[in-house]
Structure 1
Amino acid sequence: MQFENTRAYAASLDRQDELLKYRNEFIFPKVNGNDVIYFTGNSLGLQPKNAKKYVDEVMQDWAELAVEGHFYAEKPWWDYHERLAAPLARVVGAKTDEVTVMNTLTVNLHLLMVSFYNPSAARFKIICEEKAFPSDQYMLASQVRFHGYDPKEAIVEIKKRPGENFWREEDVLAKIEDVGDELALVLIGGVNYYNGQVFNMKAITQAGHKAGAIVGFDLAHAAGNIKLELHDWNVDFAAWCSYKYMNSGPGNASGIFVNQRHLGKKDIPRFEGWWGHNKDRRFLMEPEFDPMPNAEAWHLSNASILSFAPYLASLKMFDEVGMDALVEKSKLLTSYLEFILKEVDKNVDASFEIITPEDRGCQLSVFLHGKGREIFDYLMKNGVIVDWREPNVIRLAPVPFYCSFEDMFTFGEILKKGLTS
C-alpha cells in the first residue's frame, strides 16, 4: 500500500476502518482539554466504558445479597470465572478447559513452575531470552535457587548478535539444540516487552519438545495483541496479565493456559487449594484434594470478583470483534505509524532508529539518539502518552481497539515540531 503523510489520507483510512466505532467505547484521559493520543496500551490499556457497569453490578449484588451473592447474584460469584474461559480461549487459541483466570501474572508463573519445572541432576537448565522482563528474571532465579541450583549455571540466556537489536530465530533454535539433554524448561516472553519482537512460538515449542524439555511462555505482551494458537502449537503452559492489551484495569487478574494433556492428573506436582477442588463436592469440605478436570485445578482461593468484572467487560468486546480483525487492523496501523516515523526522520534529520523487527505486534520501539528524554517530555506535555525505557527508548503501541490512523498523522506532526523546536 502506498501511504501518504497527510491528514486527509489518514482520515480516509479511518473512514474505511470497520473497528473505528470501538474507539468510542473507551475513556481517554485529556491533556490541555483534548483527548490524548494513547500509545501505552502495552503497559495499561484504556478503561472500557462498560467496565464500570460490570463492577457496579457486583457492588449492587454485594449490597443487596451479601454472602448470598455467591449463589443468587445474576452472575453468581462462585462460578463467575467460568464466564471468562470461553472468550479468553478464543483470544489465545485454546480449548475452553485449558484456560482460566486467577491471581496475577508472576504469582501464576510461580505456581506453574511448581508443575512444569522439575529439575534433575542431569536435566536442570532453563532457557530464556536475554534481558527478559525483570519480574521473569527474578522469578526464574528464585525458582532455580529453591531447587538448589546456581542461576548462573542453570539459566541460559539467548543473546542477540553484536550490534543487533533483535533475536534471530536460528540462534534461538540452535541454543535449544545445544543445551539438549540438560534442558528442563524453555520459558520465553512470547512478545519481548522492550523491542516488541514476536518469537516463533510454534517452532520454539517443537524444538523444546524435541530436546525433551517442557515449553512455556509469558504472554504479557502477546495476549490480545497477536494471533495465538496455544493448543495447536502444543505449548505446555502459558500465563499473561490482563491489563495491557486486554484493558481490564491496573494490576488486574492473570490468565493461564495448561495444555489438555496435562489436565485431569492427580499426581502432577502442584500447589493446591480449595477452589481447585471438584466443584460438585467443594462445599463438602473433604480432606483429600480432588482436582478439577480442567485448568481450574490450579486455582487456590475463591475468585476476586471485583477484578474479574472489568475483564469480563473487555472480553465481551474481544468476542464481538475477534482476533483476526484486530490483528488485521493492527498490522496496517503499525505500518502506517512506521511510515510516519520514517517521513519525520527524512524531513527533520531526527536521528532515531526503529529497533522493532518485522515480526511484531502493535508496538514500535524507537531508539532516540540525542534528544531522548527531552522528546519524551515534550510528547507527554503535548498530549501524546508514550512509554520510556532506559537507556533511550520510547515505546509506541498503536492499539487497534482505540487508536486511529489520524492519531498516527497527528503524532507525526507533534513529533516533528518537538524535534525542530
Structure 2
Amino acid sequence: MVRIDSTASSSLHHNEHWFMEQAKASGMSNPLDVSFAEHLDSIDSLSHLRSKFEYPLNRTLPDADFGLCEPNDESLYLCGNSLGLMPKATRRVVNEFMDRWAGEGVFGHFSEPSPWTKCDQELTKNIAKFVGAEPVEVALMNGLTVNVHILLSSFYNPTATRHKILLESRAFPSDHYAIESQIKLKGYDPEKSMLFVGPREGEDLIRTEDILRIIDEEGDSIAVVFLSGMQYYTGQLFEMEKITKAAQAKGSLVGWDLAHCYINVPLFLHDWNVDFACWCSYKYGSTGPGGLAGIFVHERYRDDNRDRMVGWWGHRMKTRFLMDNKIEFEEGAAGYRISNTPVMLVMPLIGFIETLDGIELTQLRDKSIRLTGYLELLIEHFFSPSSSFRASNKISCESITPKDPNQRGCQLSLKFNISIDRIYKELVKRGVAVDKRYPNIIRVAPIPMYNTFVDVRRFIDVLIEVVNVIDHQ
C-alpha cells in the first residue's frame, strides 16, 4: 500500500481513512493512481448528474492550446464557484418560454399553466428548502448587490450610539461598496461606522473567537453584522449560527451574504434565527451569468411593515392591479420585491430545479466533502515540504482553506509562492478552467453535480506538469 503523505497537517487527513478503506476494499494497492479515482466514480450514486449538464470540451474554450491538450477531450472545468455549468434542461425550458411569448404575447402574464405574474413565487417552496427557510421567508428578485442595498436600506437604521456595521476586512468588493454607500446615505461616516474583522497577522483565516470578541466588545455600537457566509478568497465557512446568536444577544441585527453558500453547504436560516440574507444563483445554482438572485427575511418580520424601498411588485397580488397607489405589502420576503418578475431569468431556475429532481442536498454535500478531501489529499501528498516531488522543484503550493470539511464547501484556495499569472496561463492552455485571485491564489472547485474524482486526479497531473514546465524555464 502506498503511503499517503500527510505531514503538511499535524494529524491525519480528515478523509484519509475513508480513502484508504476504499482502496483496500477495491483491492487496489495505490490510492493515488488514476484507476482509484475511476473506482470512486464507479461507486458514486450521483455520477449520472454529469450527463445532465453541458460540459465544455477543450475546443470550445477560448485559450486552450491544442498542442498541449486534445481538442475533443473534455476540459477540466473546476470553476463552478464562479460560474456554474448550464443544465441541459435549461435550454429546453428557455425555448418553451420563447415559444409561449411568441404565441401568447401579453396573455402569458395570466394564462395557465404558470402565469408569468407568479412564476417566481411558484418556485419559493423549492428555493426555501435550499436555504433552510419557510416559503414566506424567501423571494426571488434582482441581482445580489441590488438586494444587499434593498435589505440594508430597510434593516440598517443607525442611531448616534448604534451605527456601526461589522464586515470582513477583505469582504467581496460589492459588499464593501454597498455597506460604505449605505452608511453615507444614512448620514454617517464610513471611517467611523465600518467595523472590520480580519485574520491575525501571518494567518489567512478569520478566527470565530475574534469575531465573537469584537461583537462582545463593540456590540452596543453595532447596528448590523453583515458577513459572507463563506469567505470568497479563502473558502472559509463561518459559524453562522454561533455568530448570529452572539450578535443578536448584543442587540444587533444579523445579515449574511450567501453567494458562496447557496447550493454548496447546508443552510438553516430559519432555525438559526437569521434576520436577513441574500444570495446569487449563478455559481453553484447554475442559472447563468447574472442569474436571478434571492433574499431571505425571517418570518418574524412578515407583517412588520418596516420602511423599505418600495415598488409595485411588493404590493399584495390580490389588490395589486387596482392601481389605487395605497401600498399593501405582500407577506414576508415577497413584500421587498420592487419590479415585476424578469421571467427570462426565472427559466434557468426552473431548469436547475428540474435537474436536481429527486436529489437531496445531503447527497451533494457528502460527495462534495469527498471530492475536496481527495483534492486536498493529493495536494498534500505531492506538494507538502517532505514530498519527493516538492523536493525537486522551487514552486510550493498549499491549501489555505480550512482542513475541517465542516468549515468549508466545494472550494480549495491554493496558495503559490510565485505569480499566479504564470500558473494560471499554463493551466488554461491545457484546458483547465479555474479561478485566479491576486496575488497568489488559485481557487479550485470540484462541484458534486458534474465533477468527478477523475477530474480531480487529472487536475493534479496537469498542475504537476505546469509546475515542472515553469520550474525549468
TM normalised by structure 1 equals 0.98
Q: Which has the larger radius of gyration?
A: 2
Q: In the TM superposition, what is the alpha-carbon distance from 1:116 to its structure 2 partner?
A: 0.6
- State the match for 1:2 in structure 2: 19
- State the match for 1:308 in structure 2: 346
Question: Is 2:54 the partner of 1:24?
Answer: no
Equivalent pairs counted in the alignment come to: 420
* 4+ long deviations beyond 3 Å: none
Contact 2:297–2:333 at 8 Å: present in 1 too?
yes
Q: Of residues 389, 396, 409 in structure 2, which corresponds to 1:348? A: 389
Q: Of residues 218, 224, 238 in structure 2, which corresponds to 1:199? A: 238
Q: Of residues 449, 457, 472 in structure 2, which corresponds to 1:401? A: 449
| Unmatched runs of 5 consecutive residues or more in structure 1 | none
- Residue 19 of structure 2 aligns to a residue whose secondary structure is coil
Measured in 1, the distance between the counterparts of 2:307 and 2:356 equals 34
Question: Is 2:249 the partner of 1:231?
Answer: no
- Residue 274 of structure 2 aligns to a residue whose secondary structure is coil
Counterparts of 1:9-408 in structure 2, within 5 Å, are 9-31=36-58, 32-266=71-305, 268-345=306-383, 346-349=387-390, 350-357=395-402, 358=404, 359-370=407-418, 372-408=420-456
Measured in 1, the distance between the counterparts of 2:357 and 2:127 equals 8
- Residue 239 of structure 1 aligns to a residue whose secondary structure is strand
Q: In the TM superposition, what is the alpha-carbon distance from 1:343 to its structure 2 partner?
A: 2.3
Q: In the TM superposition, what is the alpha-carbon distance from 1:406 to its structure 2 partner?
A: 0.6
- State the match for 2:468 in structure 1: 420
- Residue 310 of structure 2 aligns to a residue whose secondary structure is coil
- Residue 284 of structure 1 aligns to a residue whose secondary structure is coil
The one-letter code matched in structure 2 to 1:348 is F
CA-to-aligned-CA distance 1:66-105 (integer Å, 9 cap, x gap): 0000011532101000122011100000001100100100
TM normalised by structure 2 equals 0.87
Q: In the TM superposition, what is the alpha-carbon distance from 1:231 to its structure 2 partner?
A: 0.3
Measured in 2, the distance between the counterparts of 1:181 and 1:64 equals 59
| Unmatched runs of 5 consecutive residues or more in structure 2 | 1-17, 21-30, 59-70
Between 1:122-131 and 1:371-380, the stretch displaced more is 371-380
- State the match for 2:10 in structure 1: none
CA-to-aligned-CA distance 1:173-197 (integer Å, 9 cap, x gap): 1111111211100000000100000
The one-letter code matched in structure 1 to 2:19 is Q
Between 1:231-240 and 1:285-294, the stretch displaced more is 285-294
Q: In the TM superposition, what is the alpha-carbon distance from 1:245 to its structure 2 partner?
A: 0.3
Q: In the TM superposition, what is the alpha-carbon distance from 1:297 to its structure 2 partner?
A: 0.3
Measured in 2, the distance between the counterparts of 1:175 and 1:183 equals 10
CA-to-aligned-CA distance 1:189-229 (integer Å, 9 cap, x gap): 00010000000000010011011010000000011100000
CA-to-aligned-CA distance 1:281-339 (integer Å, 9 cap, x gap): 11111221000112110111110000110112112334521211111110011000111
Measured in 1, the distance between the counterparts of 2:19 and 2:102 equals 57
- Residue 140 of structure 2 aligns to a residue whose secondary structure is strand
Contact 2:167–2:226 at 8 Å: present in 1 too?
yes
- Residue 89 of structure 1 aligns to a residue whose secondary structure is helix
